[in-house]
Amino acid sequence: MPLLKHFNTLFSPFLLFFTVLLCLVSSPALQAKKKEAKKEAPLHYEALNPRQKVAYLADLVFVGKNQEADEKVSQGEPSKLDPKSKKRFSVLKAYLDLEQGRAAEAEALFDSLQGNYPELEAVLPLWRAKSSRLAGNPQKAVQILEQFCGGPCLPPVPETEPAVKTTAKNKKSKARPKEASPVVSGPAPRVVREYASALCEVKDARGEEIFQNLLSGANGAERDTTRLAWVHCLQKSGETTKAFEELRSLFVQAPGALSKKQLEENAGRLGNRGFSPDDLLLRISNLKTQERWGEAAQELKEFLAQHPSERPLRRNETADTFFKARLYREAAQIYEEIVQDPLLTEKREALEKLASAYARSNQFDKALKIQSELAKAPDEEAGASQKVSYKIAFLLADAGRCDEAVSAFQEFTDRFPKSPKRDDSLWQKAWCEYRLGRTQSALADLKLLLDEFPRGNYATRASYWAYRIASLIPEENGAEAKAAFLEKYPESFYERWDQIRRGLPSNQCPALPLATHLGEEKVSPSFFFSFSDGDRTALAELLSLGLWEDFMEIYRKGTGEEGNTSDDLKKWIRLFAEREGVSEDLVWAILREESRFKSKALSSAGAMGLMQIIPQTGYEIARSLNWSAFKPSDLYQPIVNVRMGTHYLAMLLRQFSGNSVYTIASYNAGPDAVARWEGQRSSRPCEEFIEEIPYRETHLYVKKVMRSLWNFRENPSAFYAGD
């Protein structure tokens, strides 16, 4: 707009018209933009044809965007749909009606589909019953489910398959004898739960008995969801005191499947009952036991705001909780109070914690002041002065005070020549010299590092940056240094990066596409070769509709063989990457570096499966996908693990606007840490950002995943084989 105003002051309206027209026609950038817009136009919901809109809605439901899907349902055109798409549209609309509390509308739609949708005959009765119950017709719900179950819907009965006997013949076989395993017969637990809920609403005593039987065999999110339904049953029966005690037990245990808000809302429906301060503290303690530090810190903050008299009693607990939740500025404020306490006995430990909190919240001057005080203080701990000396130098570098850092690192290496931190100190000093533009000094430091530690942790990166810096110095032979580096470290991250960085704009990291839902058919019954014909059709239809919970109910009853081969992984990764809008090569790269394709992988931190998801993150993802029956053991199933890992990766990719380096780093270190580093170092070139990642594990992880990503693009077939 300012540019057009300027033209109006210089040219007549007539001349302005032709000038602007010429600019519009001739501008290459604008022409490219128009081509790109034309290319992307079909991706927008409004531009899709009616059938594609139904597939698009299904994709939104699949990724947990029910609110957005509900807003778009009204734009659908069912009158223009083919019969199959029309049924799918009706299911999606009914499902969203039910989710949004429009039970009567959902009931009418589900009733109209009964008998007309053979692919979904295994799940439609449950939806009909639930919508009828919530619409105020519990007796109808009981009748629907008893007809579906062929009588009362009772909890599934675990049976045991006979173990395969070891005979003389199979003793020689390499295959292990099959162990006895439970086989579940009977209706799915959520069918039984819905039946029990309907019985409770018609005052049938069988409801309470069925709930008790269900709870005795449930686990994971399924148990938590069942317990909450049991609370509702007790409430309907008028046993509000018992209902509240059950709800209180759920609240303090802090189950991953149920949010605090959800439990508090249910308490409010039991006659304005609330949870006591002791309940809140016990819940926070359980959150910490489960290492759910973010939730624990938030709830502790809310608790102290409501009960300020408790604050002095819980200073250490609060500060440590905030620190572990990475709320470093808040932690520093509490540690400040702690170190000022005249009765404090372990002052050095408290000061070290305060200095760390200052450093991680970018309050470097305060952190340096404390470390300087610690350096002067008499201490009995062996090596304490060495530790403090290094920390001071490192903090100066982290604060961007490179000139001072160079001197501090030099002092450290002179004073402690045999320190285990010597290689690290030499690298940090060289890097600061490089950032200051002192190329000769930086190169000399790198050569010294390589001479002393030719096979050390910094060998590859020091060799690379020695070549890069040598290329900037006229009297150095940069070409020879480059050739020597490439000969010594072929196929390294740095060799690949050196090729890619030349095509990148200054300061930018390689970007990954943020795909839009295409509204296309993606699932085929052939995906489920080991299932019966009827189950294959139902699984494909439910997955096409994006109804993951219903899909998993049938999938769990199958052979469990799907997803255990490289071909299965290919189809799941391709399907989930497309539906989530994630680059397929990124999923493969993450998966390879996390588990080396081992579906039963378990880390020391409790991360499970192919994409190494910890159970609590699994619960959080399950909540976002409206999957109430998730249990941690599901993470060992390839289809579940890839589904959840891809969903989480998509969230990170969008948070960091497609920046590949930030996304990969956040998968390892968490998005909060990467957002903090981004704020500190966003002006740095991408390769320098990678080198300055403070966490060594994350620094190496980014390089490994980037290298795997490039390998996948160059040779997918070898990658699939695990090479």
Q: Which helix (H) or strand (E) holds 157?
A: strand 157-160
Which of 493, 460, 691 has its CA nearest to residue 589? 493
Question: Beta partners for 183?
Answer: 159
Residue 567 confidence (pLDDT):
78
Determine which of 55-64, 79-88, 156-165 has the lowest per-residue pLDDT on average: 156-165
Is 258 within the bounds of a domain?
no
Of 471, 490, 509, the last residue of a domain is: 490
How far apart are the C-alpha atoms of 297 and 326, rounded to whole Å?
A: 9
With b meaning 16 or more CB within 10 Å and e meaning fewer, what string describes 411-440? ebbeebeebebbbbbbbbbbbbbbbeebbe
Contacts of 38 (CB under 8 A, 6+ apart): none
Q: Which stretch of DSSP H or E encloses residue 185?
A: strand 182-185
Do 202 and 142 meet the contact criterion of CB atoms below 8 Å apart? yes
Q: Tell the residue number behind the tokens 């006895």, with chain if given.
A: 180
Query: Residue with structure tokens 């050569």?
Result: 447
Lowest mean pLDDT among 293-302, 429-438, 603-612, 670-679: 670-679
Cα separation, 123 vs 542, whole angstroms: 9
Q: Could you tell me what percent of the chain has a pLDDT over 70?
A: 86
Q: Sign of torsion, CA 432 497 662 503?
A: positive
Same domain, 550 and 641: yes
Please state whether beta strands 157-160 and 182-185 pair in parallel, antiparallel, or not at all (unpaired). Answer: antiparallel
Please, are residues 289 and 296 in contact by the beta-carbon 8 Å criterion? no
Domain that holds residue 413: 378-490
Do 113 and 124 contact (CB within 8 A), yes or no?
yes
Total structural domains within the chain: 3
Let me know: does 579 contact 59? Beta carbons within 8 Å: yes
pLDDT > 90? residue 522:
no
For Cα atoms 386, 387, 388, give the angle at the middle one, nearest 5 degrees: 95
702 inside domain: yes
SS3 percent helix, strand, coil of the chain, rounded to 5, is 70, 0, 30
3-state SS of 113-144 is HCCCCHHHCCCHHHHHHHHHHHCCCHHHHHHH
**C-alpha–C-alpha distance, residues 321 and 295, integer Å:** 10
Note the pLDDT of residue 679.
84
Instruction: Please check whether residue 163 is in contact with residue 180, taking contact to mean a CB–CB distance below 8 angstroms.
Output: yes
Comparing CA positions, the residue from 432, 430, 491, 492 lying closest to residue 462 is 430
Model pLDDT for residues 234-283, shown as the tens digit of each residue = 998 889 999 999 999 999 999 988 989 999 999 999 987 889 999 999 99
Who contacts 291 (Cβ-Cβ below 8 Å, separation ≥6)? 616
Torsion 182-183-186-190 (CA) sign: positive
CATH number, position 464: 1.25.40.10
Tens digit of pLDDT for each residue in 192-202? Answer: 999 999 999 99
Pair (530, 647) in one structural domain? yes
Cα gap 130→152, rounded to integer Å: 16
Mean pLDDT across the chain: 85
Shared-domain flag, residues 556 and 635: yes
Any idea what DSSP says for residue 530?
Answer: T
Q: How confident is the model at residue 715 (pLDDT cuts 50, 70, 90)?
A: confident
Secondary structure class of 420 (helix, strand, coil): coil
pLDDT at 254: 93
Across 427-441, 513-527, 620-634, least confident range: 513-527
Question: Which of 119, 78, 73 has its CA nearest to residue 96?
Answer: 73
- Residue 157 has what pLDDT? 66
Give the SS3 label for residue 426: helix
Residue 51 falls inside a structural domain: no
Instruction: Please check whether residues 486 and 532 belong to one and the same domain.
Output: no
State the Cα–Cα distance between residues 93 and 75, nearest whole angstrom: 11
Q: Please give the average per-residue pLDDT across 555-562, as a whole number.
A: 67
pLDDT band at 29, cuts 50/70/90?
very low
Note whether residue 587 is domain-resident.
yes
Rounded to 5°, the CA angle 146-147-148 comes to: 90
Instruction: Answer yes or no: do 452 and 596 share one domain.
Output: no
Has residue 50 been placed in a domain?
no
Digit-coded pLDDT (tens) for 639-673: 999 999 999 999 999 999 999 999 999 999 999 88
Q: What is the mean pLDDT of residues 312-319?
A: 92
Q: Rounded mean pLDDT of 397-406?
A: 94
Residue 519 confidence class, pLDDT cut points 50, 70, 90: low
Domain match, 537 and 589 both? yes
* H or E segment and range at residue 708: helix 696-714
| Secondary structure class of 159 (helix, strand, coil) | strand
Q: Which residues sit opposite 159 in a β-bridge?
A: 183
Do residue 536 and residue 451 come from a single domain?
no
Q: Which amino acid is present at 216?
A: S
**DSSP states along 620-643:** HHHHHTT-TT--GGGGGSHHHHHH
Q: Hey, what are 253's tokens?
A: 């245990």
Q: What are phi and psi of 462, to 5 degrees?
A: -65, -40
Q: How far apart are CA 558 and CA 183, in angstroms?
A: 11
The rounded distance, in Å, linking the Cα atoms of 421 and 491 is 28
Helix (H) or strand (E) holding 158: strand 157-160
Identify the pLDDT of residue 354: 97
Task: List, in order, residues 6 or more apart from 16 with CB less than 8 Å away.
Answer: 7, 8
Q: What's the CATH number where 559 sits?
A: 1.10.530.10
**What is the structure's pLDDT at 502?**
78
- Asked whether residue 575 falls in the same domain as residue 483, the answer is no
Model confidence at 160, pLDDT cuts 50, 70, 90, reads: very low
User: Could you tell me if 533 and 484 lie in one domain?
Assistant: no
The residue type found at 49 is N
Identify the band that residue 158 occupies on the pLDDT scale cut at 50, 70 and 90. low
Q: Do 540 and 678 sit in the same domain of this protein?
A: yes
The model's pLDDT over 534-544, given as tens digits with 9 standing for 90+, comes to 899 999 999 99
In a domain, 472, yes or no: yes
Average pLDDT over residues 106-123: 94
SS (H, E, C) 246-274: HHHHHHHHCCCCCCHHHHHHHHHCCCCCC
In Å, how far are 309, 332, 356, 403, 679 from 361, measured between CA atoms? 27, 8, 9, 22, 11
pLDDT, tens digit, 9 for 90 and up, residues 455-514:
999 999 999 999 999 999 998 888 888 898 988 888 889 988 888 887 777 678 888 877
Stretch 561-573: mean pLDDT? 73
- Range 301-306 average pLDDT: 95
Backbone angles phi, psi at 681, to 5 degrees: -130, 20
pLDDT of residue 185: 63
Cβ(430)–Cβ(446) below 8 Å:
yes
CA atoms of 353 and 253, how far apart (whole Å): 30
Alpha-carbon span 321 to 326, nearest angstrom? 9
Does 523 score more than 60 pLDDT? yes
Q: Does 539 reside within a domain?
A: yes
Residues 6+ apart with CB under 8 A from 116: 87
Q: In the prediction, which pLDDT does 34 show?
A: 36
pLDDT at 521: 65
328-365 pLDDT tens trace: 999 999 999 999 998 888 889 999 999 999 999 989 99
132-155, pLDDT tens digit by residue? 999 999 999 999 999 999 999 998
What number of other Cβ atoms are within 10 A of residue 66's Cβ?
A: 17
Show contacts of 70-74: CB within 8 Å, 24+ apart.
70/96, 70/99, 70/100, 72/45
Do residues 483 and 529 share a domain?
no
Residue 32 makes CB contacts below 8 A (sequence gap 6+) with none
CB-hemisphere CA count at 13 Å for 285? Answer: 8
> Quick one: tokens of 2?
């300012």
pLDDT at position 526? 84
**pLDDT-based confidence at residue 432 (cuts at 50, 70, 90):** very high
> Which pLDDT score, from 0 to 100, does residue 17 have?
32
Which DSSP string do the residues of 594-608 spell out, in sequence order?
HHTT-TT-B-TT--B
Query: Which residue's entry shows tokens 């769990």?
Result: 556
544 in the same domain as 451: no
Residue 48 lies in a domain: no
